[in-house]
Structure 1
Amino acid sequence: MISGDGDHQAATRSEHGPGRLIADRYLLHDVLGRGGMGTVWRAHDRLLDRPVAAKELHILTHGDEEHRTRLRRATREARAVARVPHPHVVGVHDLVESEDRLWIIMELVEGPSLAHRIAETGPLTPQHTAALGLQLLDALEAVHAAGALHRDVKPANVLLRRDDDAVLTDFGIAALDDGDGLTVTGELVGSLEFMAPERVTGSQAGPASDLWSLGATLATACAGQSPFRRPAAPATLHAVAYEEPALAERLGPLRPIVEALLRKSPSERPSTERVRSALRRVAAEEPDAGPLPSATVRTLRPSHQLTDADTVTRGQARLVPSRETVPTAQHTTALQPSKDQSHRPPGPKRLWWALAGAAVLVAGVGGGLFLTGALPIKENPKTKATSQVVQSATGWQPVTGASVRRGDLVTVRFVSGEWTADYRNMPMTGSAGYDADTDKRLDGAKDCKIKPEAPFGTLLAVLDGDKNSPVHVVGRKLTFRAAQDGTLKLGMNDATGVCSQDNRGALTVQVRVTRHP
């Protein structure tokens, strides 16, 4: 959004730029990085006379329930990390409120991220990757022992000190395992190609989910590219949930470790002890313990009891009868599932994977993929679902594959993403747009609004078949009955053209159209 008031914009940038004193203690210098959750500044602690990193969270300390929920999540993040004193976990020093925002004061790590290192100098050797993997594994073990999950392990969230040691940082979407779930239903938070399959499908996440992300991170560090990255978000989600990873030959001795960590079922992934043992052998260039056997997933017998031979071999379609033996490799490795893991009751998530995804379409466990349009809706042949990435600066955008007829039931649901109506001065926001106080900061450009009563940044929908068609506020979810035939279009509450030139970001939504009989 362009206000046309150059002096006002310059003043706003000055108020929110370097040189500010936060909480009468922390002097801001330059920006170290930006992300969906906040901006990290190089700062100086004037009380203790030391350099620090100040993370300015894109969350107001006042506002609606959504903002209060995000504030509680951010506070939990800081408390979780602060109680994990570990050399490979970024240190948290303070948590303060200033300028109507929450700030996390952290240890300043002088060094690039792992993602930057890979981009600048290329992939790491298997030995170097294994050494960093050991440090990250220790960090995750400490985080899990504190009752927290990281939920966004990826190369960009691994910083490298001057001595090349790894530091796990950016716990922006961490969640403690001691209270109410704070992630809004239907919202995928995190980096898709490093997100564990159980998170993609909306199942329970746990420590094994972080280990999966660690495996994807190690594969990326050693190969130079993610094993699940695809051109579009729905394809990436489908690859994470159903496809085998594309692993490069250069992984060498690291490959069995990565393969074991990237098993689809959390219960089939190895324990931290077994991963640590294998990583040590690779880092020390010791001989490998042997090839990994084919991963197996247990399924339920009709009597709801398991025997050791009741298995489904991955990649094969047949069920093995209880008295038939299953061929295995002659040698085992430390990365086999531990004994206690192998004899755990299967549970609904494990059984779901054993049935090779068939139960997903019936029981709805694959709702996370339906939200992205990666899978067709099978339970109702009259319903069509698709996904759409809505850009912030493109104006009205037609939804591909979602033709609407009079009487159809149309549902638009927010899935993930953030955008801003003014990337220079305004924070990122989701599909509900800015809260009232933040929206007032753009009063000078209120003529740019498509729907005047809705805040900037709100996701809007219109059925483009009649010039009198109403513009709907989507927010997190919109359901309406179509009054006429038309094309469904989505856009940001900020008129296209000069108004939208400083918009940034995009949202992913799911659209369902149920044909009226």
Structure 2
Amino acid sequence: MISEDGDHQAATRAERGSERLIAGRYLLRDVLGRGGMGTVWRAHDELLDRPVAVKELHILTHGDEEHRIRLRRAIREARAVARVPHPHVVGVHDLVESDDRLWIVMELVEGPSLAHRIAESGPLTPQHTAVLGLQLLDALEAVHAAGTLHRDVKPANVLLRGDGNAVLTDFGIAALDDGEFLTSTGELVGSLEYMAPERVMGWEVGPASDLWSLGAALATVCGGQSPFRRPARPATLHAVAYEDPALSERLGPLRPVVEALLRKSPDERPAAAGVRSALRRVAAGETDAGPLPTPTVRVVRPSAPSAPSADADTVTRGQERLVPTGESAPTALHTTSLRLAPQQSSRPRGAKRLWWALVATAVLAAGVGGALFATGMLPFKKDPKTTTVSQVVRSTNGWQRVTGVSVQRGDQVTVRFVSGEWTVDYRSKPMTGPAGYDATVDKSLDGAKSCKIKPSARFGTLLARLTDRPEAPLHTVGRKLAFRAAQTGTLHLGINDAAGPCSQDNRGALTMQVSVTHQP
């Protein structure tokens, strides 16, 4: 928030926007939009002679510690988005300081927001909505692979290019949210009706939170109304946390996908791959989206208490990982669920209701845990210690050391694919996952087969080795690799395409979960 004086100054500057030159380079033209986090201007880059969009953040570059924290987060946001060269993510060109404020220079998208499009022309068809949903899903996966979250996915933050394609923009909440539901001034951060239940409840957020917001946005775009909007803010919060979504019959074949994305517990929502498969069927005009996407469950080691992430803007999940339903978890681990059961109407209303829900959950967990220990149902012996980290493996960096875990001889090591795509030739070859290309595409790259690190594996395959010695045995990871370490070492991951000249035309990254279980 800015003061009344600041508002007056901003209004005065708006009147003379065309006369202002920012950082000696960016000439402001007119205001494209305003929000609580900043003002977006149409501008011209005088150096490169091109139109740009400039976001004036309502953050002073000087001030108290809170201002400095918000400034650092804004800078981190700009850098994170700049690392995502994706056709459906707004391009970030520059970050400058001028007039005691921070300015983010971005690609200018000449088109309306998705919210404006719906307001002017009405809801989209399920097929059209699914097409845009696929584009936004790809954008979110790229953002997550870069190590950040969007946190404010909604139709107003989706711009439409002239060809109708979607562009995800306005990453301000990811940078400016202080990791809590309320700011220090009591201002709500984000759009309530698109805010995932775990954010409302003050629990840990992750990629599944952005997918929930995507589901709410798709329901609005296709159904013509927000599924959780209520006349008052407390009622909207309650609807998000406890009530079923109000979904229009217009959704048709899109309805099962939206319902799956809007499950209250993040553990029960589908993985991105399942959502993509269902959206593709709807986008192709099929009347059935197919089987519901497979939900995931969270797996944590028993001895580790639940704690929020050290950095609210990262997608590292601490000592936990995601396991597709139907696969067994390691014996040293157990599954937990964060299902939010519907509550009786006799509970306190609004914000108090959320507070009491949190208190009741904590008391119940403490009481059950104490009772189990008292009755001897929980063992006092030491359990195997499992450390789980999230690791982003980039296609351009060669072998990359997995940080945060150490591997001792006899440890059980599991590497599991979470999300992302990459390619070894962005000019002519499609994106692929950790299993690499199929035989046909791999054969077409025979002219560069000397670039392969493991000749018997296909290009694009994710590889692992336990030491950094060139002669170390190479393992093909694919979507999952589990093995018992025969020696002590450091785990390294990389794409099957040698670093250096071979990897110059690579693009993309994968996010992997690495778990190491050590028996005391």
TM-score strictly above 0.5: yes
Q: Does 1:339 align with 2:326?
A: yes
TM-score normalized with structure 2 length: 0.57
**1:152–1:194 Cα contact (<8 Å) kept:** yes
Structure 1 residue aligned with 2:95: 95
**1:62–1:68 Cα contact (<8 Å) kept:** yes
Structure 1 residue aligned with 2:179: 183
Structure 1 residues 67, 184: CA separation in 2 closer, same or farther (over 3 Å shift)?
Answer: farther
**1:57–1:103 Cα contact (<8 Å) kept:** yes
User: Aligned with 2:351: secondary structure?
Assistant: coil
- The alpha-carbon deviation at position 224 of structure 1 amounts to 1.1
Partners of 2:164 and 2:120 in 1: CA distance: 15
Partners of 1:294 and 1:37 in 2: CA distance: 36
Partners of 2:133 and 2:96 in 1: CA distance: 33
**1:131–1:283 Cα contact (<8 Å) kept:** yes
Partners of 1:271 and 1:294 in 2: CA distance: 7
Equivalent of 1:353 in 326, 339, 356:
339
Matches within 5 A, 1:30-179: 30-175=30-175
**1:134–1:280 Cα contact (<8 Å) kept:** yes
What stretches of structure 1 move > 6 A for 4+ residues in a row? 8-11, 293-300, 341-344
Q: Does 1:258 align with 2:244?
A: no
**2:238–2:350 Cα contact (<8 Å) kept:** no
Query: What's the CA shift string for 1:322-347, capped at 9, x where partnerless?
Result: xxxxxxxxxxxxxx964359998433
Structure 1 residue aligned with 2:219: 219
Of all paired residues, the percent bearing the same amino acid is 74
- Specify every segment of 5 or more residues in structure 2 that has no aligned partner in the other structure, as ranges: 304-322, 360-520
Query: What's the CA shift string for 1:194-224, capped at 9, x where partnerless?
Result: 0000000000000000000000000000011
- The alpha-carbon deviation at position 182 of structure 1 amounts to 3.6
- The alpha-carbon deviation at position 15 of structure 1 amounts to 7.8
**2:234–2:349 Cα contact (<8 Å) kept:** no
Partners of 2:358 and 2:207 in 1: CA distance: 32
**2:148–2:174 Cα contact (<8 Å) kept:** yes
**1:153–1:217 Cα contact (<8 Å) kept:** yes
Structure 1 residue aligned with 2:422: none
Structure 2 residue aligned with 1:230: 230
Q: Does 1:372 align with 2:356?
A: no
Structure 1 residues 354, 284: CA separation in 2 closer, same or farther (over 3 Å shift)?
Answer: same
**1:124–1:222 Cα contact (<8 Å) kept:** yes
Q: Which has the higher contact order (CA 8 A, sep 6+)?
A: 1
Query: What's the CA shift string for 1:103-142, capped at 9, x where partnerless?
Result: 0000000000000000000000000000000000000000
User: Aligned with 1:173: secondary structure?
Assistant: helix
Structure 1 residues 356, 221: CA separation in 2 closer, same or farther (over 3 Å shift)?
Answer: closer
Structure 1 residues 341, 146: CA separation in 2 closer, same or farther (over 3 Å shift)?
Answer: farther
**2:209–2:266 Cα contact (<8 Å) kept:** yes
Query: What's the CA shift string for 1:250-299, capped at 9, x where partnerless?
Result: 10000000000000110111111110010000010124255659999999
Greater CA drift, 264-273 or 16-25: 16-25
User: Aligned with 1:102: secondary structure?
Assistant: strand
**1:270–1:338 Cα contact (<8 Å) kept:** no
Matches within 5 A, 1:445-464: none
Structure 1 residue aligned with 2:362: none
Matches within 5 A, 1:339-488: 339-340=326-327, 345-347=334-336, 350=337, 352-353=338-339, 372-374=351-353, 377=356
- Specify every segment of 5 or more residues in structure 1 that has no aligned partner in the other structure, as ranges: 305-335, 362-368, 381-517
Partners of 1:379 and 1:113 in 2: CA distance: 36
User: Aligned with 1:96: secondary structure?
Assistant: strand
Structure 1 residues 194, 355: CA separation in 2 closer, same or farther (over 3 Å shift)?
Answer: closer
- The alpha-carbon deviation at position 65 of structure 1 amounts to 1.2
Partners of 1:182 and 1:235 in 2: CA distance: 24
Structure 1 residues 127, 173: CA separation in 2 closer, same or farther (over 3 Å shift)?
Answer: same
How many pairs does the alignment contain?
Answer: 328
User: Aligned with 1:148: secondary structure?
Assistant: coil
User: Aligned with 2:170: secondary structure?
Assistant: coil
Query: What's the CA shift string for 1:373-416, capped at 9, x where partnerless?
Result: 44585899xxxxxxxxxxxxxxxxxxxxxxxxxxxxxxxxxxxx
Partners of 1:190 and 1:2 in 2: CA distance: 22
Partners of 2:335 and 2:350 in 1: CA distance: 26
Structure 1 residues 63, 10: CA separation in 2 closer, same or farther (over 3 Å shift)?
Answer: closer
User: Aligned with 2:173: secondary structure?
Assistant: coil
Cα root mean square deviation, aligned: 3.6
Structure 1 residue aligned with 2:20: 20
TM-score normalized with structure 1 length: 0.58
Structure 1 residues 338, 56: CA separation in 2 closer, same or farther (over 3 Å shift)?
Answer: same
Structure 1 residues 9, 205: CA separation in 2 closer, same or farther (over 3 Å shift)?
Answer: closer
- The alpha-carbon deviation at position 73 of structure 1 amounts to 1.2
Partners of 1:378 and 1:143 in 2: CA distance: 32
User: Aligned with 2:172: secondary structure?
Assistant: coil
- The alpha-carbon deviation at position 186 of structure 1 amounts to 4.0
**1:85–1:91 Cα contact (<8 Å) kept:** yes
**1:149–1:175 Cα contact (<8 Å) kept:** no
**2:241–2:340 Cα contact (<8 Å) kept:** no
Partners of 1:142 and 1:294 in 2: CA distance: 21
Structure 2 residue aligned with 1:365: none
Partners of 2:358 and 2:37 in 1: CA distance: 36
Counterpart amino acid of residue 134 in structure 2: L
Query: What's the CA shift string for 1:410-456, capped at 9, x where partnerless?
Result: xxxxxxxxxxxxxxxxxxxxxxxxxxxxxxxxxxxxxxxxxxxxxxx
**1:53–1:107 Cα contact (<8 Å) kept:** yes
User: Aligned with 2:30: secondary structure?
Assistant: strand
Structure 1 residue aligned with 2:279: 279
